[in-house]
């Protein structure tokens, strides 16, 4: 990725609805050259998709919860991963280092929905060793924007 690609990536990440004319100004290129660059970023997987950012309160899932859990390694782990990947309330599922092998980020309607999710999808998991749940009382920062790394000295020289 060169500096122009970085500018385009940063701009579309901040505003996926930005028009090509706006991106062209930011990139310092023609509209057609900018469109080609954007297409290449998509083909290379730098841009992985286009989405609208919804307000969780307005769409009925204001409760943010984090679930830490430990599962005995083995076949159960694959089934757990598949189930979490398929569930719409699971925004993120991470395999972690440290004391807790898995961390889930959930969005749900309320505490009753959290309890229902845990009862139906987590507490009865084969191999579940332990579980801890934290509910966010407030969110100081929640973003989807990645800190796009600047060019290294070697990349600038190319």
Please indicate, yes or no, if residue 82 is contained in any of the structural domains: yes
- Domain shared by 107 and 47, yes or no: no
The tally of domains found in the chain comes to 2
Whether residue 81 sits in one domain with residue 41: no
| pTM to 2 decimal places | 0.85
Identify the helix (H) or strand (E) that includes residue 131: strand 128-135
What's the CATH number where 12 sits?
Answer: 1.10.10.10
Range of the domain at 22: 3-52
The Cα 104–Cα 18 span in angstroms is: 32
Task: For residue 88, give the CATH number of its domain.
Answer: 3.30.70.920
- pLDDT for the residue 155: 63
> Which pLDDT value is given to residue 158?
63
Is residue 45 assigned to a domain?
A: yes
69 inside domain: yes
Does 158 reside within a domain? no
DSSP tag of 148: P
Output the pLDDT for position 92: 97
List per-residue pLDDT tens for the chain, 158 residues long: 899 999 999 999 999 999 999 999 999 999 999 999 999 999 999 999 999 999 999 999 999 999 999 998 877 788 899 999 999 999 999 999 999 999 999 999 999 999 999 999 999 888 899 999 999 999 999 998 999 988 776 666 66
Confirm whether 141 is domain-assigned: no
Return the pLDDT at 146. Answer: 93
Q: Tell whether 148 is covered by a domain.
A: no
């Amino acid at each position: 990725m060169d500096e122009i690609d970085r500018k385009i990536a940063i701009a579309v990440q901040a505003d996926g609805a930005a028009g090509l004319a706006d991106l062209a100004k930011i990139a310092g290129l023609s509209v057609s050259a900018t469109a080609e660059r954007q297409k290449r970023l998509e083909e290379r997987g730098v841009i992985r998709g286009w989405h609208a950012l919804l307000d969780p309160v307005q769409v009925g899932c204001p409760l943010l919860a984090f679930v830490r859990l430990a599962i005995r390694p083995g076949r159960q782990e694959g089934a757990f991963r598949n189930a979490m990947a398929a569930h719409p309330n699971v925004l993120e599922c991470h395999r972690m280092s440290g004391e807790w092998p898995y961390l889930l980020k959930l969005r749900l309607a309320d505490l009753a929905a959290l309890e229902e999710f845990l009862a139906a999808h987590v507490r009865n998991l084969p191999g579940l060793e332990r579980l801890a749940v934290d509910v966010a009382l407030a969110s100081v920062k929640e973003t989807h924007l990645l800190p796009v790394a600047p060019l290294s000295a070697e990349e600038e020289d190319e």
